[in-house]
Amino acid sequence: LNYWRRRGSVRRPLCSGEIIMGSAESSEASGVTELHYYGAQGRGQQIRYALAEGGIEWTDVSAPFPPPDSVKQKWLTLGGNLTTNVPMLIMGGKAYTQSSAVLRHVARKGRLMPADEELQYQVDNIIAAVDDYRTEAYKAVFPALGGAPSKAANAQLKDVVIPTHFKNFERLLGDNDYFVSNKVSVADMTAFDIFTNFSFNLFPSIKKDYPKLAAFVDRIASRPKLAKYLASEKYTSLMPFPCLE
């Protein structure tokens, strides 16, 4: 059964092989910052984390997957790109597209981007490293979402990709609480995203192998604004990615 088409109450996935999801309803609110994306995590989730930590109120305008032609036409009208328009942020009456660019825009608005150019490079470096990992993770996630999990892709992600990338993230974090200048930034929001939505949730058994990164996740999740968001229906109503073990 296609993972995207399951219906029911939304809650976090169990690691017994059970997959439970629901569909997020679209919402519009004039004059309110909007994030147009699917009612799921994916590439839009790092932006949601940055919005929450930056104290920026927003409305999720969520679409089903695959999106109907009417929704795709609306995205094209709003964003203008002939390729991909989501995740798309509507802020101040303007449309912002391309996930990394949107993430950085939100970071600047929410004071999650350092002013120093050297530190900005370090932030960009973490965002790029996270994107590299996320791209590899999707090779296992997409087959599972389509109802045909790939044992080969799962094994490659768990046994090869994660150890390589996560050892590098441990190196980049070092003994600090946060990735850049030991102060919270958008780099931490995007890193938090892959640890919570693209790795430890897919393979819970690996979390013990990376205590430094697991402690980082707990640290970010306990920040007041993030904690409030994570406890809200705005977050819990999103479709979680499936456990792969």
Return the structure tokens found at 56.
């920026």
| Alpha helices, H only, 95-159 | 99-109, 117-145, 151-156
CA geometry: angle 92, 98, 103, nearest 5 deg: 65
The answer to whether the pTM exceeds 0.95 is no
Sheet of strand 34-38, all strands in order from the earlier edge strand to the far edge: 59-63, 34-38, 88-91, 94-96
Q: What is the largest CA-CA distance in the chain?
A: 49
Counting runs of H as helices and runs of E as strands, what totals does the chain give? 10, 4
Whether residue 216 is predicted with pLDDT greater than 90 in this model: the reply is yes
d(CA 19, CA 7): 10
Count other C-beta atoms under 10 Å from residue 245's C-beta: 11
pLDDT band, residue 74 (cuts 50/70/90): very high
Nearest-10 crossing angle of helices 186-197, 45-53: 130
d(CA 242, CA 145): 7
- DSSP 8-state code for residue 161: I
- pLDDT-wise least confident of 82-86, 135-139, 220-224: 82-86
**Tokens 């791209």 map to which residue?**
135
Q: 133-164, pLDDT tens digit by residue?
A: 999 999 999 999 999 999 999 999 999 999 99
Count other C-beta atoms under 10 Å from residue 204's C-beta: 13
Q: 177-213, pLDDT tens digit by residue?
A: 999 999 999 999 999 999 999 999 999 999 999 999 9
